[in-house]
Chains A and B, each alone.
Chain A
Amino acid sequence: MSAHASHAPKRSGLWDWLTTVDHKKIAILYLIAGGLFFLAGGIEALLIRLQLMYPELSVVGAKTFNELITMHGTTMIFLAVMPVIFALMNAVVPLQIGARDVAFPFVNALGFWLFFFGGVLLNTSWFLGGAPDAGWTSYTTLALNQFSGRGIDFYVLGLQIAGLGTLIGGINFLVTIINMRAPGMTFMRMPLFTWTSFVTSGLILFAFPAITVGLVLLMFDRLFGGNFFNPDAGGNILIWQHLFWIFGHPEVYILILPAFGIISEVVSTFSKKRLFGYSSMVFATALIGFLGFMVWAHHMFTTGMGPIANTLFGLATMLIAVPTGIKIFNWLFTMWGGQIRFTTANLFAVGFIPTFTIGGMTGVMLAIPPADYQYHDSYFVVAHFHYVIVGGLVFGLFAGLYYWWPKMFGKMLNETLGKWNFWTFFVGFHLTFFPQHFLGLMGMPRRVFTYLAGQGLELGNFISTIGVFGMSIGTILFLVNVAVTAKSGKRAPADPWDGRTLEWSIPSPPPEYNFAQTPLVRGLDALWVEKMAGNKGMTPAEPLGSIHMPSGSFLPFVMSVGLFIAGFGFMYHNYVVVVIGLAINFACMLLRSLTDDPGYHIEPDEIEEKGVKA
């Protein structure tokens, strides 16, 4: 390597955050942005439940209600849980494989800013003539110009930009995990969270292009007079549903697999045991990822595909129960014979198991097409996917946040507040969503802004709304916990939980280069192996030397702003604005292509000084 500028450029404050390419800082950006969108989606949910607290209420109007459900679903899936997953992947995966950074730090930053500006674009719709109101699935023809307003344009362009960010993020993690592992870190020694992140990134790569195409077609129909979904000109409304679900079903696994990974790490650490059936866990993860692409049409049983297609997709869906069951029992037997500590992280993990099992059970029930004719688009489905996405994924994310918070921020979260957080959220969750199973079976369709009195739906809806307050309190307690501990919390040691994997072998928070010396991995649970061998830390795989780091860049931010501007140009048919936006974007790409980043070096003396073990 030739000689480059060898001092770390000093950037401070906001400028540092706008230009960072450090995966640990990008993780925090993802967490903050995802957290803010999570709160927005949560407030939308609260309004939805208030409207449904009693029959024939008018807290919000019918149109506003449809905007709320659309934005709640879209925000939660694309702008809240996805980025929090990306936050944890960014914070943890490079550390778990012993890497100094991700494969493409610049692309990593670009991915974040694209997601962020896509999300902002989508949410500006509230102030510019109304949010999208055709459901997060935006089925045509309801989502075409004749039947809905400008809001859908925000949906199309916002998701397109955010989706692009997610796609390149996925590629980045695939390459990182394939190419950047430390010596000795073979695939079958990777921690399960890294494995699930790997499979999830693969799913992102192959699923997101389908929604990209779907959104392009919808955009052409809405903005350029296309006829893809217009039955009067030969279009076919079902093409949208197929493209949406070819993306949408793998998306469910994109979301839940990292949660499986988190639960595996947390349960294993707090049972003081290695993961039971590691190989079968890896196999089950890959199998779920594969099957995830084979079952999209189970969202379309009632579209009239006929008994053959329905049965095949139904049976394929049921098969997913097998690898999922393997995971549940492996977790149970990881705890069997262990020494279980009930930290907040582990409470969420343990709460996850029965809750997710219920979500999985209703999933199998939904896979039976004739029975699904009753469940479909009823509150039964609403209950099912909230058991999977909240009871599964959000519990998993809370577990992951409590577990890795010390590593990310160098502060311990308060355990007492954490336990209150768990119990209020857990009880509130079940109170909210358990009665919804029955509401659906008793004849309540989903996405209704009200229901009539005297149809037996009052009690269930009332209980459900009460439960939301529990979930709200739980979320607020988490925020309080973050605020309180940020001010006066205990400093986190390098290894607060008696951890087993590589991230616990370096200080909390890690220095910008992560590992002063790349570690040598000698088995599954790399740190645990060293602990059992009586070593203090990891054995280095290289001598202490100069570390090359990539420079920060403002271009990802500017590129995303360019696309943000172009998005508005498309929506308002102002092609001057489109050209300006795209020109900004392409100019940045050109600049990036023409200038080589020399990076900078951190010399051994600086490492000694910063890298003192906690």
Chain B
Amino acid sequence: MKSWQQFWRQLFLFGLLALTLTGCGIQELSALKPQGPVAAMQFDLMKLSFSIMIGVFIVVILILTYVLIRYRKRPGQEGIPKQVEGSHTLEILWTAIPFLLLIIMAIPTVTTGFALSKEYDNKEALQVNVTAHQFWWEFEYPDLGVATAQDLVLPVGKKVQFTLNSADVIHAFWIPALGGKIDTNPGLENKMWLQADRTGTFYGKCAELCGASHALMDFKVEVMEQADFDKWAQKMKTVQSADPKKATASAAEGQAIFEKSCLGCHAVAGKGGKLGPNLTNFADRMRVAGIKPNERKYLEEWLKDPQKMKPGNNMPNLNLSDDQVNALVDYLYTLSVKDEVKDENKQ
């Protein structure tokens, strides 16, 4: 049948088109553009297995196409084809060859599997404790005495040993550009290491259905030079309260509201509860609620109705007046540990 050939040609072209149009995704997110050794090792395994499989597929397609053209019933064709029982040679062949191909894949599977599960102690690696919550991420650096949320800050070129847990349901911690995921299990601890080979921003996601806002449980990874990281950690540890340089009357009012209504759940500079994200460096964060750009209007929108932006999350609606929201936003944008508050956050 001619349409068969046509169809496959079209499918192939379509696939090629789709690939070239989208590239392989964006480098902040895609597993196809590895940015560290773990993702690279995993990508190597993908390429190896994909090449072998595509080889098998081509063989199947070639035989199928040949058979469908050569042995289609022709008009007026009579007689009965030879009833073949089988062929030992062929059957042994297509049992043995796949087996050999599997062995080729099995060897790197084993070696990579063990390499990725190696654990590093604090002399070799930066230790980070990850606790997943509905629907945000808590990051703690036990050796540095620093806690933050949503934006994971890491030094470049250094192994990071993660210890992961969950406060409620199962989530999965996934930074595709840096490496594969692992589940965060309530009541059971998991370990994983990653490393970023260049500075910049990467996107992290929750990969296990965890409730209504599973899709919105994003986080960011900010990778910086070791010196910058050290400076950041130092500042996070020592920062006392809002940056006085940026303190305005409105921000002071906001701080009062915060200390009355928010501190029970959100910590700033070591004071406050742990039920919600730590906000010590909120003004430096890239996103509001993990998803929207960290801009005034989105922050206001969030404070006015948290359920609208992120359904099912645990933040109550505080029923704040517009003035109160305004003051609170002013205060929150003073919470920074960077010398220069990023301008693009503040439009």
Contact = CB atoms under 8 A, between A and B. Distances in A.
Whether A and B touch directly in their complex, counting CB atoms under 8 A apart, is answered as: yes
Contacts of A310: 113, 117
Contact of A442 (B22, B86, B87, B170): B22
Given A371-B46, A441-B24, A271 B114 contact: no
B46 A328 contact: no
Nearest to B204: A443
Interface string A305-347: 0110011001100110110011011101101111111100000
B71 A456 contact: no
Contacts of B215: 62, 445, 447-451
A277 B25 contact: no
B212 A63 contact: yes
A83 B102 CA distance: 35
A518 B32 CA distance: 61
Interface string B207-220: 11111111110100
Interface string A428-460: 001000110010011101111111101111011
A188 interface: no
Interface string B302-318: 00000000011000000
B105 A364 contact: yes
B133 interface: no
B77 A339 contact: yes
A134 B71 contact: no
Interface in B250-308: 291
Contact of B21 (A271, A450, A459): A459
A305 to B, nearest CB: 10
B5 to A, nearest CB: 13
B170 A376 contact: no
B216 to A, nearest CB: 8
Contact of B182 (A63, A302, A353): A302
B18 A335 contact: no
Given A306-B117, A307-B113, A447-B209, A339 B60 contact: no
A189 interface: no
A456 B77 CA distance: 53
Contacts of A364: 49, 53, 102, 105
Contacts of A315: 106, 109-110
Contacts of B90: 329, 333
B105 A445 contact: no
A417 interface: no
Nearest to A135: B209
Given A278-B85, A460-B18, A304 B32 contact: no
Interface stretch (A139-147, A215-223, A470-478, A568-576): A139-147
B170 A278 contact: no
A562 interface: no
A371 B30 contact: no
A274 interface: yes
B63 A365 contact: no
B80 A272 contact: yes
Nearest to A366: B49
B67 A336 contact: yes
Interface stretch (A1-9, A174-182, A230-238, A388-396): A230-238
Contacts of A430: 11
Interface stretch (B142-150, B185-193, B227-235): B185-193
Contact of A365 (B49, B77, B80, B176): B49
A309 to B, nearest CB: 10
A267 B211 CA distance: 45
Given A278-B85, A361-B53, A443-B205, A141 B169 contact: yes
Contacts of A278: 85-86
Interface residues of A, number: 98
A448 to B, nearest CB: 3
A539 interface: no
Interface string B6-34: 01000100110011011111101111100
Contacts of A322: 95, 98-99, 102
A378 B68 CA distance: 35
A241 to B, nearest CB: 9
Interface in B129-163: 134
Interface in B67-116: 67-68, 71-73, 77, 80-87, 90-91, 94-95, 98-99, 102, 105-106, 109-110, 112-114, 116
A459 B210 CA distance: 26
B49 A371 contact: yes
A542 to B, nearest CB: 29
Contacts of A456: 22-23, 25-26, 29-30
B174 interface: yes
A280 interface: yes
Interface string A542-560: 0000000000000000000
Interface residues of B, number: 100
A374 interface: yes
A192 interface: no
Contacts of A335: 67-68, 71
B22 A438 contact: yes
Interface in B35-80: 39, 41-43, 45-46, 49-50, 53-54, 56-57, 60-61, 63-64, 67-68, 71-73, 77, 80
A279 interface: yes
B237 interface: no
A370 interface: yes
A142 B181 contact: no
B168 A141 contact: yes
A54 B187 CA distance: 37
A318 B11 CA distance: 28
A377 B102 contact: no
A353 B64 contact: yes
Interface in A61-95: 61-63, 66
Nearest to A532: B80
A446 B174 CA distance: 12
Interface string A456-497: 110110010000000000000000000000000000000000
A176 to B, nearest CB: 28
Contacts of A457: 25
Given A147-B211, A342-B72, A447-B214, A321 B102 contact: yes
Contacts of B81: 271-273, 337-339
A337 to B, nearest CB: 6
B183 interface: yes
A306 B116 CA distance: 10
Contacts of A340: 67-68, 71-73
Given A441-B24, A445-B207, A326 B95 contact: yes
12 contacts: A139-B209, A142-B211, A319-B102, A333-B87, A361-B57, A368-B105, A370-B112, A376-B181, A441-B25, A441-B32, A448-B214, A451-B215
10 closest A-B pairs (Cβ-Cβ)?
Answer: A373-B180, A231-B187, A442-B25, A448-B215, A443-B29, A277-B86, A304-B190, A361-B53, A339-B73, A307-B117
Interface of A: 61-63, 66, 133-135, 139, 141-142, 146-147, 231-232, 235-238, 271-274, 276-280, 302-304, 306-307, 310-311, 314-315, 318-319, 321-322, 325-326, 328-330, 332-333, 335-342, 350, 353-354, 357-358, 361-362, 364-365, 368-374, 376-378, 427, 430, 434-435, 438, 441-443, 445-452, 454-457, 459-460, 463, 532
Given A278-B86, A447-B209, A460-B22, 10 more contacts: A147-B168, A315-B110, A333-B90, A353-B60, A373-B42, A374-B176, A443-B30, A445-B214, A451-B215, A456-B26
